[in-house]
Structure formats: C-alpha cells, structure tokens
Amino acid sequence: NAGVTQTPKFRILKIGQSMTLQCTQDMNHNYMYWYRQDPGMGLKLIYYSVGAGITDKGEVPNGYNVSRSTTEDFPLRLELAAPSQTSVYFCASSGTGGPSGNTIYFGEGSWLTVV
Amino acid sequence: GQSLEQPSEVTAVEGAIVQINCTYQTSGFYGLSWYQQHDGGAPTFLSYNALDGLEETGRFSSFLSRSDSYGYLLLQELQMKDSASYFCAVRVGGSQGNLIFGKGTKLSVKP
C-alpha cells in the first residue's frame, strides 16, 4: 500500500544548483500539494494542483515550479537553490468530496540542505 | 492575514488527559483538522470537524466552536507513544480549499 511516495529522501545542494523532487501517488487523488516545513514550524503550502494540467500557487511559491501532467505525478522543481530553501519538503494528496476530501495523505518527506 | 494559534509545548504524564487548544483567524472557514507528527516523520490525519461539537475517535476527541473560532484536541489515557507534535489546520477557500497549518504543539508524555 504505497500511498504517496516522494524521492529523494535526503539531498545536499550547492547554492545555485537546480533539482527536482519527485512525487507520485497511487490513490487516484485529484488534489496534490507540496508543503515545506522549517524546524519547529508548521507546514507552509508551496504549490497545489486540483487535477492534471492545473496548478496554482500557495503561500510560499517563490523559487519553485511545478507541473502536473498526470493524475499520479506532481514534481517540484527548485531553480537556483538558495540557503533559505533548506527545509523538509512534504508532498501530499487528497480526494474530492466527503470524508476523503478532508484527509490529506503525506509522503515521508525530503530533507534538503542548500550549502 | 491567516493565523492559527496553539501552545508551543505541553507536558503530561502517562494515563493523564491533555487538551491542546487552537484559535484561528482566517478568511473563510471550511473545517478544522488535527494532524499528528512524530519526530522525523510525516504528518498523519487524526480528526476533522466541520460543524460545532465533539467528534470522538478512540482515545482522541476533537471539539469545534465556530462562533468562538476555537477548537481543541483532547487526548485521553495518554501513552508514551503519544509524544509527538500536533497541528491544527483550517481549510480555507471552499470545501476543497487548502489547509492552513498552525505551528504545532509539542506534547511530551512522561512516565
């Protein structure tokens, strides 16, 4: 029962490098999200998608890009990495309507350090 | 702006009852959720309240008062494994809108 799978789990980037965090879900959820969590803080929404081909900005989108070509996949791209992007990144998904729409399922997280 | 306030830390002993409060100020409200996160782990869903009142799920209960913009998570018969961070989250922007998270309450359960 895979749920939400994100890779890599750990990554160290140099300032100015770019990378893509991969995320896939096997629950046929329409909604997918990328959050970041800084130490001792809550989760802040970076981008979200309500379905294939549709994406929108969250609270903290600067420095990131996303795409949603399929229902299953929602990669997050970091362009020109900066130390301020050092964080834990969580991909998540949820269904639509009823109880399934109120539960967000999170991946295990990706620890990113920019040096 | 949007804000959710919850205590940063709570300590309790095994077997006790603890209440974690959450007050919110958001533009729109479509439900209050609670998530648990163990150190180094992913948040996991605990409960959801769309209407006023108490929702019970085993040892955990969650309460909502929309008129007071307030809710709480009640944990009974505390166990060591309940030591974790607990986040309240408000759904805004519609019934399928996004979740805005509080900063979390770190619960430490002592023997």
Reading the block at residue B81, the tokens are 């494994």
Quote the mean pLDDT of chain A.
92
Measured in angstroms, the CA of A5 and the nearest CA of chain B are apart by 12
- CA atoms of B2 and B37, how far apart (whole Å): 22
pLDDT of residue B27: 82
Q: What is the pLDDT of residues B25-35, one digit of tens each?
A: 988 888 899 99
- Show Cβ contacts of residue B41 under 8 Å, excluding neighbours closer than 6 positions: A108, A109
Q: What is the pLDDT of residues B34-63, one digit of tens each?
A: 999 999 999 999 999 989 999 998 999 999
Rounded to an integer, the average pLDDT of A60-87 is: 96
Three-state DSSP class for B97? coil
- Show Cβ contacts of residue B16 under 8 Å, excluding neighbours closer than 6 positions: B78
pLDDT of residue B102: 92
- Those of residues 66-95 in B touching chain A at CB distance below 8 A are 87, 91, 95
Measured in angstroms, the CA of B1 and the nearest CA of chain A are apart by 11
R_g of chain A computed on alpha carbons: 13
Phi, psi of A3 (to 5 degrees): 75, -120
- Cβ of A43 within 8 Å of Cβ of B95? The answer is no
- CA atoms of B74 and B21, how far apart (whole Å): 9
pLDDT of residue B51: 92
- Show Cβ contacts of residue A2 under 8 Å, excluding neighbours closer than 6 positions: A26
